[in-house]
């Protein structure tokens, strides 16, 4: 059972480089989202999508882009990496729109990004 | 706005000790409340939930009761095991509309010693 798959698990970038974190889910979930996890800050929502072709900003969207061309995939793009983007990134999906009524989000294992 | 406040950590206990992790919330209306757990090297997973006042969520020996009068959802376990070592997150969904989203607390690290 694959669930939510994130790649890569680890990545080191230099300031100014770009990269894409990949996220794929095989549960036919409409809702997908990206969070970053930082010490003492908990989880903060970056971007989310309620279906193919629809994306919206979360709490901390600056410096990140997303797109949703299929139900399965929701990549997160860093256009010009900065040290402040050093973090652990989690992709999550849900059966209910916006993780709403059931409240249950299914998380990937995370991608640890270091920006030097 | 909606928020979740968790007690400061980390917490270190001996095996078989009693566990309480405090969580209080601020929300308008009638939110749903959740506890998520993150084991080392893994993503978060739902531990338990409660959707209305006085509901008790339970799973894997953990329990939490939705207390509207004290706006709390404290997590308890009678006898912790080493395998319970993890980060625990309290979360709420305000259920204010189709796009209402989960708000997480900062998380607390639990370490259980043999």
Query: Chunked in runs of 10, what are the mean pLDDT values of chain A (116 residues)?
Result: 90 97 94 91 90 92 96 96 96 71 81 96
pLDDT of residue A1: 67
- Please give the residue of chain A at the shortest CA–CA distance from B95: A100
C-alpha dihedral sign at A24, A29, A30, A34: negative
Helix (H, G, I), strand (E, B) or coil at A59: coil
Say whether B102 and A40 touch across the interface (CB within 8 A). Answer: no
Q: What band does B101 get if pLDDT is binned at 50, 70 and 90?
A: confident
pLDDT of residue A99: 45
Which of B99, B84, B81 lies closest to B35 in space, CA to CA?
B84
| Interchain CB contact of B100 with A (< 8 Å) | yes
pLDDT of residue A61: 96
A-chain residues within 8 Å CB-CB of B55?
none
Give pLDDT tens digits for B14-65: 999 999 999 999 988 788 899 999 999 888 999 999 988 999 999 999 999 9
User: Rounded to an integer, what distance in angstroms lies between the CA atom of residue B86 and that of residue B99?
Assistant: 30
> Who has greater pLDDT, B93 or B29?
B93
**Number of other residues whose CB lies within 10 A of the CB of residue B82:** 11
User: Rounded to an integer, what distance in angstroms lies between the CA atom of residue A17 and that of residue A90?
Assistant: 20
Q: Measure CB to CB from residue B95 to each of A56, A92, A100 and give the nearest one.
A: A100
pLDDT of residue A102: 62
Question: Quick check: B97 pLDDT over 70?
Answer: no
User: Strands, E, within B1-114: which ranges?
Assistant: 3-6, 11-14, 19-21, 23-26, 32-38, 44-50, 56-59, 62-65, 75-77, 86-93, 103-104, 108-113
A-chain residues within 8 Å CB-CB of B25?
none
């Amino acid at each position: 059972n694959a669930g939510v798959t994130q790649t890569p698990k680890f990545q080191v970038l230099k300031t100014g480089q770009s990269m894409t974190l990949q996220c794929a889910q095989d549960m036919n979930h409409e809702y997908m989202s990206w969070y970053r996890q930082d010490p003492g800050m908990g989880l903060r929502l970056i971007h989310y999508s309620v279906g193919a072709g629809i994306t919206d900003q979360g709490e901390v969207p600056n410096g990140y882009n997303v797109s949703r061309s299929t139900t399965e995939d929701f990549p997160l793009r860093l256009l010009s990496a900065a040290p402040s983007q050093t973090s652990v990134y989690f992709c999550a999906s849900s059966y209910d729109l916006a993780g709403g009524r059931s409240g249950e989000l299914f998380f990937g294992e995370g991608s640890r990004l270091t920006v030097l | 706005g909606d928020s979740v406040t968790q007690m400061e950590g980390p917490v270190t206990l001996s095996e078989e000790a009693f566990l309480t992790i405090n969580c209080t919330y601020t929300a308008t209306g009638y939110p749903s409340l959740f506890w998520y757990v993150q084991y080392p090297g893994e993503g978060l997973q739902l531990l338990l939930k409660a959707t209305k006042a006085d509901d008790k969520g339970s799973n894997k020996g953990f329990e939490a009761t939705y207390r509207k009068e004290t706006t709390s959802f404290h997590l308890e376990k009678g006898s912790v095991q080493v395998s319970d070592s993890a980060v625990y997150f309290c979360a709420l969904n305000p259920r204010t509309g189709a796009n209402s989203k989960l708000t997480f607390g900062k998380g607390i690290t639990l370490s259980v010693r043999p």
